[in-house]
Structure 1
Amino acid sequence: MALLTALQGGFGDTADALRIDGRALSREDLLGAATAVADRAAGAPALAVLARPTVETVVAVVGGLLAGVPVVPLPPDSGPKEREHILRDSGAALLAHAVGEDVPEGVPGLPVDPAERSATSHPEPAADSTGFVLYTSGTTGAPKGAVIRREAIAADLDALAAAWQWTAEDTLAHGLPLFHVHGLLLGVLGALRTGSRLVHTGRPTPAGYAAAGASLYFGVPTVWSRLAADPEAAGRLASARLLVSGSAPLPVPVFEKLAALTGHAPIERYGMTESLITVSTRADGERRPGSVGLPVDGVRTRLVGEDGAPVPYDGESVGELQVAGPTLFSGYLNRPDADAEAWTADGWFRTGDVAVIGADGFHRIVGRASVDLIKSGGYRIGAGEVEAALRDHPAVADAAVVGAPDEDLGQAIVAYVVPDGAVTGDQLTAFVAERLSVHKRPRRVVLVPELPRNALGKVLKKQLLAEHGGR
């Protein structure tokens, strides 16, 4: 069975089956333009895509999938070091981009023209072949490439379609970035598998969501928080069928305000780049604030204590959440060491998140097993990567980065820096933004005389937060 079933006909078509930041494409036009990309990308070891929220990005991604070439979305705001790492590590031989767009040196460009057409017929790639290599930040070091099989994507989208009653009758709207699971795999490929219309708003603004006229909306807590603060825009979502929140916990006050303003209690779901979406509230089930619901079809979960023993499902006991099922990734590209840490001996994936499961099976995510993975505005950011960038500054002797609670972003990146010379917080923020993705820059920089450490030399980040209150 084809991954992108809506491109094979049978769902009907309209001139605006996909609308991306105001530009429309029919599915037939998308297929013709993407096939032209596939003709040029076929046989490449991997196709990087400069993943801006544009029609060109969608055409390029679909073209890579049609050609059976692993697609590597490249964050458009990535800094030189991060970009070079992703291109080198993935082995991408081509970088797809809009016609006339400046692209980094080192990888040949593949200009994408949405008006181009090809009628070539490419055979459907094997279900167990790689669809994507998605780069995800860990707690230390450079981002790792998670290898995602086509069959894992199909299994997850079908499970979510069942959980959310997502059909070709829906119109999906969102304004999420197109270089990660939420915005791209769910928010674009989901529409191309279920047959729903897609409206991508370009940016996830309250006005854009209000104008979309959709039945199904995707957003991260930051998006929903801003909508909840705009009663007029939120009220225009009352005609929707379902609001879905993910990528970070949705604050209960935002949940309650959205429900009051729109008449819809939002759906919450849980997942990771490595596992895709594994747990979700159902469209026809209870929507409980602070809960992400039940495992989706085909997925199994378990809680494990620090001693490796099972944790009871009593709604109170906390354990590490581990998952198994058809949506899991194949492993980290060229990282057998990371694979060994990520999997248990009996084949379960260690999420690194701690959770509570009730007797009724409802899951509540408590947080990370460590404080080194920050969720800010829907992004997952490794503290170690930001710390390394800060330490590259000549006026920085040491640095520790934490996620401080933030009403808008969920967590804000706060850097505690021991200076070694004259430097300001604004200078350090700009320094990081020039080297990493812009969303990884510190929102606040606190200059401190020293960092608290334990006997083993490990920085006591919780103590930093307690002493400074995230300031």
Structure 2
Amino acid sequence: MTLLPALRGSGADRPDALRVAGRTLSSEDLQGCANAVADRIRGARAVAVDALPSLEAMVGMVGAVQAGVPLVPVPPAADADERSRMLRETGVNLLLGAAAVEAGLPVVPIDLRERTWTTHPDPAPGSDAVILYTGGVCGPSRGVRISRRAIAADLDLLAGAWRWSDEDVLVQGAPLFRAYGLVVGLLGALRVGSRFVHLDRDASAGPAGTIYLALPGQWTRIAQDAPRARALSGARILVCGDAPLAPVVGERLRLLTSHRIIEGYGTTETLVVATGCSGAAHTPLPGVRTRLLGRDGRPVPADGESVGELNICGPTLFSGYVDRSEPAPPADGWHATGDLATVDPDGGHRILGRRGADVVRCRDRPVYARQVEEVLLTHPGVRDAAVVGAPHRTRGEQVVAYVVAAAGLTAQTLIDHVGRLLSARHRPRRVHFVDELPRSAQGRVRKSLLIAAG
């Protein structure tokens, strides 16, 4: 199965097929450079690449996929222990263009002047293409094995949903160690044949694009810069990846660009399985089946109110975890995502957050952290927010908010702000102001650390 047709010589030779930080590679040069990498690593057990926003890193990633060697993109923010664990668990025996040499591991440098035109046979569809690590929200991140078949299926479904074609220019700012940046962004462009522009922080700078893909924090910064946001009005679609967008940001972007932001829902284990406009229900992609199960393991009704854990079955599911003590996808094909959701009679899904870390049980009634966080983020003085539960003598748990805010904002102001828009039980009982929220190497808020801090 050919995963990346653009590397098989299909389509026109574009002089700017790949652009990173003002540097470009043509389609032909990218093919030759990737083949040169593939020639040198073919037969390796697994290779790691520091997932930096550079042409060299991307050529290394594409070369690994071309060679059929499992690719492990390492987050630049990973500390030495986390990095060592990733390399050990995934069985990496080569580093591509690594800045730091790991003990006992050879390094294969990436030279963009090298070109070869070897024809590499297509690996088996079920073989691992990439190993991505989960966000580490509730504990240590886990390595997820994702096959070529799953990636191809997901990209073809997204191409259909977004009418994504070789005439598009994809401009993105998602990090290359996450599914949106690597799979949807880089590999998606090479499968569809569109041009690809990667920007490290701000997905609105640089060449004009028809599809813009950015993270919530990036969209928030763009929304605060009206001229820059208005410049995106000529795009076909604007996409928010990796996490939900605060409704107030989505509405401001709609007013500035005349576009409703498209969101995609998925986990590392499922890839993107549902899409919809920001603030609205998400619809599963064709061929993706869903079900919501209650605490008793029974299906909950599709009434738009009953909450259950979202389970996914479909062609985009992962193959297993690198740590074989972790459960692989069940034999019946259903993967329990750990996310709580509702589904309405028309099949629209609303994701409420992670089971456990994103649910506060106040007097045995659930309070969903995402609802409170979204309201906090509507306050103009709030830059970032995370909500967790803390033990309480009579309530069971109480809502506690950690907020990055402008100077002068008070806890009572935010408590009253939430109280005006949500019920009394949603009001934070404590508000902690912090300089920044603790995040994993993958960029996700470490709620387990906030819960432990009380």
Normalising to structure 2: TM-score of the pair? 0.80
Tell me if 1:157 matches 2:155: yes
What amino acid maps onto 2:441 in structure 1? S
2:266 equivalent among 246, 262, 271: 271
Residue 280 of structure 2 aligns to a residue in which SS?
A: coil
1:251 equivalent among 246, 253, 257: 246
Alignment-derived partner of residue 441 in structure 2 = 437
Once residues 209 and 319 of structure 1 are traced to their aligned partners in structure 2, the CA distance between those partners, rounded to angstroms, is 37
Once residues 66 and 330 of structure 2 are traced to their aligned partners in structure 1, the CA distance between those partners, rounded to angstroms, is 34
How far does the alpha carbon of each residue in 1:33-63 deviate from its partner, in whole angstroms, 9 at most, with x for none? 1111111111111011111011111111111
Unaligned runs of 5+ in 1: 282-286, 377-382, 384-401, 409-415, 417-424, 447-458, 465-471
Contact 1:16 1:24 (C-alpha < 8 Å) held by counterparts? yes
Residue 77 of structure 2 aligns to a residue in which SS?
A: coil
Shift of 1:28: 1.1
Contact 1:139 1:372 (C-alpha < 8 Å) held by counterparts? no
Tell me if 1:334 matches 2:329: no
Alignment-derived partner of residue 183 in structure 2 = 185
1:138-177 alignment runs, 5 A limit: 138=136, 141-177=139-175
Alignment-derived partner of residue 356 in structure 1 = 342
Shift of 1:6: 1.6
Tell me if 1:242 matches 2:228: no
Tell me if 1:132 matches 2:126: no
Tell me if 1:77 matches 2:84: no
345-354 vs 133-142, greater mean Cα deviation? 133-142
- Identity rate of aligned residues, in percent? 47
Contact 2:42 2:68 (C-alpha < 8 Å) held by counterparts? yes
Alignment-derived partner of residue 307 in structure 1 = 296
Normalising to structure 1: TM-score of the pair? 0.77
Tell me if 1:296 matches 2:285: yes
Alignment-derived partner of residue 397 in structure 2 = none
Once residues 101 and 175 of structure 2 are traced to their aligned partners in structure 1, the CA distance between those partners, rounded to angstroms, is 19
Contact 1:269 1:292 (C-alpha < 8 Å) held by counterparts? no
Alignment-derived partner of residue 449 in structure 1 = none
| RMSD between aligned residues | 3.0
How far does the alpha carbon of each residue in 1:263-321 deviate from its partner, in whole angstroms, 9 at most, with x for none? 1111111011111001112xxxxx3x423521112211111111111111111111110
Contact 1:270 1:292 (C-alpha < 8 Å) held by counterparts? no
Once residues 143 and 158 of structure 1 are traced to their aligned partners in structure 2, the CA distance between those partners, rounded to angstroms, is 28
1:214-253 alignment runs, 5 A limit: 214-253=209-248
Once residues 19 and 333 of structure 2 are traced to their aligned partners in structure 1, the CA distance between those partners, rounded to angstroms, is 41
How far does the alpha carbon of each residue in 1:237-263 deviate from its partner, in whole angstroms, 9 at most, with x for none? 011000011211111111111010011
Alignment-derived partner of residue 29 in structure 1 = 29
Once residues 363 and 54 of structure 1 are traced to their aligned partners in structure 2, the CA distance between those partners, rounded to angstroms, is 37
- Inter-CA distance 45–3: structure 2 relative to 1 (3 Å threshold): same
What amino acid maps onto 2:233 in structure 1? A
Residue 127 of structure 1 aligns to a residue in which SS?
A: coil
What amino acid maps onto 1:87 in structure 2? L
Contact 2:46 2:93 (C-alpha < 8 Å) held by counterparts? yes
1:31-70 alignment runs, 5 A limit: 31-70=31-70
How far does the alpha carbon of each residue in 1:403-441 deviate from its partner, in whole angstroms, 9 at most, with x for none? 846699xxxxxxx9xxxxxxxx99xx99x99xx739479
1:422-461 alignment runs, 5 A limit: 437=441, 439=443
How far does the alpha carbon of each residue in 1:163-214 deviate from its partner, in whole angstroms, 9 at most, with x for none? 011001110001221111010111100000001111112x222xx5143310
- Inter-CA distance 309–70: structure 2 relative to 1 (3 Å threshold): same
Alignment-derived partner of residue 204 in structure 1 = 201
How far does the alpha carbon of each residue in 1:10-31 deviate from its partner, in whole angstroms, 9 at most, with x for none? 3212211110111100111111
Shift of 1:145: 1.2
Aligned residues: 391
